[in-house]
Amino acid sequence: MSYTKPNLKSKHYDNLFNSLPSLEGKTIAITGTTSGTGYVAANACGKLGAKVLLLNRQSERSVKSYESLKANTPNGDFIRIECDLQNFNSVKESTKNIEESAIEGLDVLCNNAGVMALEDIATVDGYDVQMQTNHLSHFLLVKLLFPLLKKAESLRGEARIINHSSIARKQPSKNLKSAYLEKNGGNLGGNGTSIMGGARWLRYNQTKLANAAFTAALHHKLSATNLNIKAIVAHPGLAETDLQTTTVKDGGMGKWITRQMMKLGQSREDGALGILKSIADSSINSGDFVGPGMGGMFSAIKGEAKAYPLESFYDNEEVRNLLWSKSCQAIGQEFSIK
């Protein structure tokens, strides 16, 4: 089952792109660049002169999107690196290749990839497929690539870690629960599809809350060091990407209702404004939440991306500690920021 996208026009992308500085000399890794916001961000970074590491699982989509990026920006420096976020071993393997391509350090790690409202299944590592893809593997990537981020910071004065959250971070629940970060894949409530609290959506909500809480914890820990490594979180509003297509195919949303809902959203280019601004705009600080709005549903679904403060329902000691300890337990490694 597939749904037909409404084909929305971009309103703000060109303005933002034209305001961004050159990224020459920088190495930028982005997860999930085969479509959607990751593709747009990779394309923009390539045009702005960065070396762009494309972290994707192996697929035809990965090959085709690489070819499309090369065709759009023939001088772009794009490097494909295999990284399947459903598998911790694949993430570990990918970091060896990233090290070879980022000898002078990694200026930006943009943890963009994600899946939404999929069935209640476990990864090969035993975690919820959504939580491992959207958060736990990104936590592992940050831990393993931290020395490369430090290297870029020492050579060029700054590095950035960007996580991609969502309006869904605060609905249906604002409470991060440890069960979703533990080895409970396949046993996390079943396949209810109600967007108001069905189990598929509650699991997605927990992953997007984890993205924000991870940023808050990173920001807090980095602020206690002398490192100029920025922890930033972005959200795309409601953006017309392949995210909804994948969810419809998996049975998480009906195709008619998805099309009606997406008519209220924005183009994938405008959806990428938050991560692109977080990657490249010099005015963005550590601890910023960058997106079209933070308040009620309607102010947050589309528009120019602006910087807002982190929110107290995850930026507090209890949630930051829960997120960090459970994520370290899942990846089987300690992670100290120093």
Ligand X SMILES: NC(=O)c1ccc[n+]([C@@H]2O[C@H](COP(=O)([O-])OP(=O)(O)OC[C@H]3O[C@@H](n4cnc5c(N)ncnc54)[C@H](OP(=O)(O)O)[C@@H]3O)[C@@H](O)[C@H]2O)c1
Under rule CB under 6 A, residue 205 binds ligand X: no
**Residue of 8, 85, 290, 322 interacting with ligand X (CB under 6 A):** 85
292 close to 36: Cβ distance less than 8 angstroms? no
186-208 in b/e burial notation, b at 16+ Cβ within 10 A? eebbeebeebeebbbbbbbbbbb
Q: Which stretch binds ligand X (CB under 6 A): 33-41, 100-108, 216-224, 312-320?
A: 33-41
Q: Please, what is the minimum distance in Å from the beta carbon of residue 112 to ligand X?
A: 5
Measured CA distances, 231 to 145, 214, 329 (Å): 14, 9, 21
**Residue of 46, 76, 252, 271 interacting with ligand X (CB under 6 A):** 271
Q: What are phi and psi of 306, to 5 degrees?
A: -130, 165
Under rule CB under 6 A, residue 54 binds ligand X: no
Encoding tokens for residue 9? 């026009």
Under rule CB under 6 A, residue 274 binds ligand X: no
Look up residue 275 and give its amino acid.
I
Residues for the chain: how many in total?
338
Encoding tokens for residue 24? 């020459």
- Give the CA angle between residues 38, 336, 218 to the nearest 5°: 45
Q: Please, what is the minimum distance in Å from the beta carbon of residue 334 to ligand X?
A: 25
Kind of pairing, strands 288-291 and 306-309?
antiparallel
Q: Nearest residue by C-beta to ligand X? A: 36
Under rule CB under 6 A, residue 36 binds ligand X: yes
Q: What is the largest CA-CA distance in the chain?
A: 52
- Give the side-chain half-sphere CA count within 13 A for 145: 40
Strand-pairing partners, residue 233, are 163, 289
Under rule CB under 6 A, residue 130 binds ligand X: no
Q: Please, what is the minimum distance in Å from the beta carbon of residue 271 to ligand X?
A: 6
Q: Please, what is the minimum distance in Å from the beta carbon of residue 330 to ligand X?
A: 15
Under rule CB under 6 A, residue 273 binds ligand X: no
Fill in the per-residue mask, 212 to 251: x = in contact with ligand X (CB under 6 A), - = not in contact: -----------------------xx-xx-xxx--x-----
Q: Please, what is the minimum distance in Å from the beta carbon of residue 94 to ligand X?
A: 10
Under rule CB under 6 A, residue 61 binds ligand X: yes
Residues lying near ligand X in the complex (CB under 6 A): 31-38, 56-57, 59, 61, 83-86, 112-116, 133-134, 164, 166, 235-236, 238-239, 241-243, 246, 271
